[in-house]
């Protein structure tokens, strides 16, 4: 497999910066949940397992800042706030879903590779321990 483009350091920095935002644990889950339709904060908090209120707030702000999510405040008492994916966020959702499908499709092969690796590491550790004891 050969690269399809020339390595440019500024491109690497850009990719790393963006992937750190959209690839983190909470952002992926929030994007997937918002892919189901607009959601209120507490609804998101209930459906994104394990996320704290603070982390969800920070995640939503980051996604909004990057243009992936919109926040709409409705003038009711109390105010109602909804979050939803933007067009850019929907395009990210397609990629996240494709990556999820790839993970499911290749799960067994990855688990087998891990098993082989761990067994080889155990064998190497055992041989090293015997060598050290001699």
DSSP 49-91: TT--HHHHHHHHHHHHHTTSEEEEEE-SSS-EEEEEE-HHHHH
Q: Are 29 and 83 in contact (CB under 8 A)?
A: no
Query: Domain spans of the chain?
Result: 9-133
Report CA torsion sign: 79, 84, 86, 87.
negative
CA distance 62 to 67: 9
Give the pLDDT of the chain (134 residues) as one tens digit per residue. Answer: 555 556 666 778 888 888 887 888 899 999 999 999 999 999 999 999 999 999 999 999 999 999 999 999 999 998 899 999 999 999 999 999 999 999 999 999 999 999 999 999 888 877 777 777 76
- Quick one: CATH architecture of 9-133? Orthogonal Bundle (1.10)
Give me the residues paired with residue 40 across strands. Answer: 82
């Amino acid at each position: 497999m050969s690269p399809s483009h020339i390595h440019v350091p500024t491109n690497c920095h850009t990719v790393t910066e963006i992937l750190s935002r959209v690839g983190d644990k909470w952002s992926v889950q929030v994007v997937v949940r918002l892919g189901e339709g607009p959601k209120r904060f507490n609804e998101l908090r209930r459906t994104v397992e394990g996320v704290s209120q603070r982390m969800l707030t920070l995640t939503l702000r980051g996604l909004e800042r990057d243009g992936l999510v919109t926040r709409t405040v409705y003038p009711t008492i109390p105010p109602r706030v909804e979050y939803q994916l933007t067009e850019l966020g929907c395009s990210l959702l397609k990629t996240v879903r494709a990556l999820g499908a790839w993970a499911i499709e290749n799960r067994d092969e990855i688990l087998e590779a891990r098993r082989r690796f761990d067994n080889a590491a155990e064998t190497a550790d055992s041989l090293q321990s015997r060598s050290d004891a001699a």
